[in-house]
């Protein structure tokens, strides 16, 4: 059984290779033909999806075998001195899950784009980028070592940049693309340092080898004060996810990234790329596990803070895509703190369910924006449910899923995270998570009630989107409903995807229905509050705003983080730059110019000796020979005293 | 008068050589005509030739080297050959310069200065 599957798993490299081939085909061959470009791209990703499904089935049928023995097939890529880097694929439940999620969302988004991007001038370019993105993301998921992962990590960053700035004629899109690229670069620098540090210390970047070294015979040495090597490495590696997955100080790029086409936001900035950071932490979990507990506590704390921070901002936003963007940030925080509190399976489970329902909601928002002719303010919408029934119903499923209402997908994953947080001894984080769940339910229902219910606006003439857009919505809605049921069977999601330190028996907690009840209650409370405010209008939203104008303003302006960064850049970095500029102009350039002046001055003087008079030259030559002769003949002693080498004792 | 006592020693030859060399050197430094300078260089070369031949004659020791050695003579011949070649090239240059500049005065040969 396992042997046959083994052969299948060896072909996993085709999954990223096919979209890459499609990227090359579109870029070099079919660029001029719109129909061909999209067909090639969609066929490639659908084939990959088929293979991913086959692999997932293979993993499920292999059972416990694959959990303990991941299938790694790799070829040597480069071998310089001691540096040996492989390129390969690793198939274990974690990568299998990611393959399925990425392929599914990517293919849905590409089909959806047939409708959404209809008539766009950059059609072929769009599909080329989409294929490149799918290929890099899948390659990253399958990476067997940190360097391979880092290469694909940067490639998805590049695709994100290209797709955010897809409508490059818009200044805001260009600026957002640059911001995204540079902000994530800050984190990537830390990640690169971490990779180098790991390499110098352990001499390998292979996940399996690193894990074996850390598990078996590693003596951790204190490096700075109480911080050990492994702890420093863990913090450095974590910087990458902070940038990529939009954790607190580097979250600023994600809301701006909404400048890209909406399907791109669904694919890259909700479902797949932004969870790359979470995936990396999960892949490197052994590192965090062996580091000082403070590393995981930091991950948990930062995640929980990001979760509640972003959720509170989302309450006061009016742009449909920005609400979803902050919701994404908040849910990414959820996944991070789940990892931090040791809920590895819960985090990955939430990653999967979130990918389904958040991609669904983004595509739903895209459908709305398409129908509203690019209006994005939820207050300009209203009563869309009747006009766009499919979008409305699927969006409703998304809202239910993210709010954690059973039996939708979000319920199971969120519940598992919260239960683990409480059971692993993190009551504060549990509280924050619960409150975030309440906020999430509130702002998502607010979005839904304002945009889809209520009175219709006479100036809008919305109509249901074409089939190419609604079918992906329905498929994703299906997964948003049933995705969570993976937690139910005996050999459930957590049975396959879990962290297995060496010599530990894995035990999985069953669903704690009491705790689940509390989190469902928090979700329903949020929905109910939104219902009272925005449907019944029992409490006027304006009066709340009027009561707390400061807080509302603070939230609406996203806690002024962007402004703070601008201030820092303008005054702190700008001031420093001015000082350095002065230093460069007057000191560095002064030294360079000074050397040049001295050379020129001495040359001006010395060139007078070059008279062009043959006889002068001959005379100088002759007398120099005479002097040297005299010195040799009469002054052996004087000569050695003149010799600089002799004074140094180099010549006898 | 015992003529054998009047034999000329090595230092005499070297003195003649040094005098010739100094004459040549003076000529090189002081003459303005390029042809005179070339002639002075020839003088210096010939002074060296005298030294070569003289050293060859006087340093030869019959008791050590049974056969008469010719090293100095060969060197002198070599110098003569090289000097002939040098004069050929030198005079060719002089003629060319004269054709272009209508001068043989080295003071005016200064177009390679700074």
Alpha helices in A292-426 (DSSP H): 293-315, 320-340, 344-371, 384-387, 389-403, 409-423
Q: What is the pLDDT of residue A651?
A: 43
Q: What is the pLDDT of residue A220?
A: 59
pLDDT band at A494 (very low <50, low <70, confident <90, very high): confident
CA angle B87, B88, B91 (to 5 degrees): 75
Number of Cβ atoms within 10 Å of the Cβ of A41: 29
CA–CA separation, B54 and A35 (whole Å): 102
Residues contacting A450, CB < 8 A, separation 6+: A378, A379, A381, A382, A534
Contact A612/B at CB under 8 A: yes
Instruction: Dump pLDDT digits (tens) for A547-577.
Output: 888 888 888 888 888 888 889 888 999 999 9
Instruction: Dump pLDDT digits (tens) for A460-481.
Output: 778 888 888 899 999 999 999 9
Taking 60 as the threshold, does the pLDDT of residue A260 lie above it? yes
What are residue A646's phi and psi, to 5 degrees? -65, -40
SS3 breakdown of chain A: % helix, strand, coil, rounded to 5? 75, 5, 20
Q: What's A207-256 look like in SS3?
A: HHHHHHHHHHCCCCCEEECCEEHHHHHHHHHHHHHHHHCCCHHHCCHHHH
What are residue A85's phi and psi, to 5 degrees? -120, 130
Mean pLDDT of the A606-625 span:
87
User: Between the CA of residue A351 and those of A164, A294, A296, A303, A339, what are the distances in Å?
Assistant: 22, 24, 18, 14, 11
pLDDT band at A2 (very low <50, low <70, confident <90, very high): low
Instruction: Dump pLDDT digits (tens) for A44-92.
Output: 999 999 999 999 988 888 877 787 788 888 888 888 877 788 888 998 8
Q: In this complex, which of B28, B30, B112 lies closest to A612 when CB atoms are compared?
A: B112
Q: What is the pLDDT of residue A638?
A: 56
CA–CA separation, A123 and A163 (whole Å): 12
Of the candidates A247, A420, A422, which has an alpha carbon nearest to the alpha carbon of residue A349?
Answer: A420
CB contact under 8 A, B110 and A622: no
**A607: which chain B residues are within 8 Å (Cβ-Cβ)?**
114
CB contact under 8 A, B113 and A611: yes
Alpha-carbon distance B6 to nearest alpha carbon in chain A (angstroms)? 32
Q: In this complex, which of A610, A611, A618 lies closest to B29 when CB atoms are compared?
A: A618
CB contact under 8 A, B25 and A613: no
Contact A147, A79 (CB under 8 A): no
Q: In this complex, which of A610, A615, A622 lies closest to B113 when CB atoms are compared?
A: A610
Mean pLDDT of the A214-224 span:
64
Q: ipTM of this model?
A: 0.80
Radius of gyration for chain A, computed over Cα atoms and rounded to the nearest angstrom: 31
Residues contacting A183, CB < 8 A, separation 6+: A243, A250, A252, A253
Alpha-carbon distance A649 to nearest alpha carbon in chain B (angstroms)? 39
Q: How many CB pairs under 8 A join A and B?
A: 29
Number of Cβ atoms within 10 Å of the Cβ of A624: 10
* Mean pLDDT over each residue of chain A, to the nearest integer: 86
Of the candidates A269, A290, A74, which has an alpha carbon nearest to the alpha carbon of residue A164?
Answer: A269
CA–CA separation, A303 and A247 (whole Å): 7
Instruction: Dump pLDDT digits (tens) for A531-547.
Output: 888 888 777 777 777 88
CA–CA separation, A212 and A205 (whole Å): 12
Provide the CB-side half-sphere exposure for A461 (13 A, CA).
0
Contact A608/B at CB under 8 A: yes
CA–CA separation, A557 and A498 (whole Å): 39
Residues contacting B98, CB < 8 A, separation 6+: B104
Contact B20, B50 (CB under 8 A): yes
Lowest average pLDDT, out of A261-265, A281-285, B3-7, B62-66, goes to: B3-7
CA–CA separation, A344 and A499 (whole Å): 6
Residue A75, helix vs strand vs coil: strand
CA–CA separation, B20 and B17 (whole Å): 5
Q: In this complex, which of B106, B111, B114 lies closest to A608 when CB atoms are compared?
A: B114
């Amino acid at each position: 059984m396992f042997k046959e599957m083994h052969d299948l798993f060896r072909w996993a490299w085709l999954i990223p290779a096919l979209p890459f081939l499609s990227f090359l085909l579109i870029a070099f061959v079919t660029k001029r033909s719109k129909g061909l470009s999209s067909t090639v791209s969609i066929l490639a990703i659908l084939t990959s999806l088929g293979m991913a499904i086959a692999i997932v089935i293979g993993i499920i049928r292999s059972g416990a075998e694959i959990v303990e023995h991941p299938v790694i097939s790799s070829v040597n890529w480069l071998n310089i001195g001691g540096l040996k880097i492989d390129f390969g694929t690793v198939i274990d439940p974690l990568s299998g899950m990611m393959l399925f999620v990425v392929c599914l969302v990517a293919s849905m988004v590409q089909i959806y784009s047939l409708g959404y991007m209809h008539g766009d001038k950059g059609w072929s370019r769009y599909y080329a980028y989409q294929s490149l993105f799918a290929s890099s993301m899948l390659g990253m998921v399958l990476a067997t070592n940190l360097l391979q992962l880092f290469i694909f990590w940067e490639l998805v960053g590049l695709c994100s940049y290209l797709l955010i700035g897809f409508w490059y004629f818009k200044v805001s899109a260009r600026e957002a693309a640059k911001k995204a690229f540079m902000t994530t670069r800050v984190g990537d620098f830390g990640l690169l340092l971490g990779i180098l540090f790991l390499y110098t210390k352990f001499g390998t970047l292979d996940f399996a080898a690193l894990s074996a070294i850390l598990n078996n015979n590693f003596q951790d040495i204190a490096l700075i004060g109480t911080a050990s090597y492994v702890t420093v490495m863990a913090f450095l590696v974590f910087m990458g996810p902070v940038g990529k997955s939009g954790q607190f100080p580097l979250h600023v790029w994600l809301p701006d990234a909404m400048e890209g086409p909406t399907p791109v936001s669904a694919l890259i900035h909700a479902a797949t790329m932004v969870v790359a950071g979470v995936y990396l932490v999960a892949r490197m979990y052994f590192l965090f596990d062996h580091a000082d507990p403070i590393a995981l506590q930091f991950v948990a704390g930062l995640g929980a803070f990001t979760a509640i921070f972003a959720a509170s901002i989302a309450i006061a936003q009016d742009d449909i895509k920005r609400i979803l963007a902050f919701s994404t940030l908040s849910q990414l925080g959820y996944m991070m703190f789940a990892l931090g509190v040791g809920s590895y399976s819960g985090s990955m489970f939430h990653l999967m369910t979130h990918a389904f329902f958040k991609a669904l909601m983004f595509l739903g928002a895209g459908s709305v924006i398409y129908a509203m002719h690019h209006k994005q303010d939820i207050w300009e919408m209203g009563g869309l449910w009747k006009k766009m029934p499919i979008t409305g119903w699927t969006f409703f499923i998304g809202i239910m899923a993210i709010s954690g209402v059973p039996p939708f997908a979000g319920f199971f994953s969120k519940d598992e995270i919260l239960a683990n947080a409480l059971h692993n001894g993190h009551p504060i984080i549990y509280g924050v998570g619960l409150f975030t769940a309440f906020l999430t339910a509130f702002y998502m229902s607010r979005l839904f009630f304002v945009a889809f219910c209520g009175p219709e606006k006479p100036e809008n003439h919305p109509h249901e989107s074409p089939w190419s857009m609604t079918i992906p919505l329905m498929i994703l809605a299906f997964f948003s409903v049933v995705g969570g049921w993976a937690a139910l069977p005996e050999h459930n999601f957590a049975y396959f995807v879990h962290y297995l330190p060496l010599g530990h028996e894995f035990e999985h907690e069953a669903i704690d229905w009491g705790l689940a009840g509390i989190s469902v209650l928090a979700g329903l409370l949020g929905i109910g509050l939104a219902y009272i405010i925005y449907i019944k209008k029992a409490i006027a939203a304006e009066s709340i705003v009027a009561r707390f104008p400061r807080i509302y303003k603070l939230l609406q302006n996203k806690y002024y983080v962007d402004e703070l960064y601008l201030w820092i850049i303008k005054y702190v970095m700008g001031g420093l730059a001015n000082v350095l500029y002065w230093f460069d102009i007057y000191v560095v350039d002064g030294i360079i110019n000074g050397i040049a002046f001295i050379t020129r001055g001495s040359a001006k003087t010395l060139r007078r000796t070059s008279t062009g008079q043959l006889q002068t030259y001959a005379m100088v030559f002759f007398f120099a020979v005479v002097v040297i002769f005299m010195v040799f003949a009469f002054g052996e002693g004087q000569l050695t005293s003149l010799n600089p080498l002799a004074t140094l004792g180099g010549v006898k | 008068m015992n003529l054998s006592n009047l034999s000329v020693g090595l230092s005499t030859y070297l003195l003649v050589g040094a005098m010739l060399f100094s004459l040549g050197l003076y000529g090189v430094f002081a003459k303005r005509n390029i042809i005179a300078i070339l002639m002075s260089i020839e003088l210096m070369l010939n002074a060296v030739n005298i030294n070569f031949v003289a050293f060859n004659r006087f340093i030869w020791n019959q008791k050590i080297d049974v056969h008469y050695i010719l090293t100095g003579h060969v060197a002198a011949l070599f110098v003569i050959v090289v000097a002939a070649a040098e004069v050929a090239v030198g005079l060719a240059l002089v003629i060319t310069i004269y054709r272009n500049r209508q001068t043989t005065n080295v003071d005016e040969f200064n177009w390679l200065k700074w």
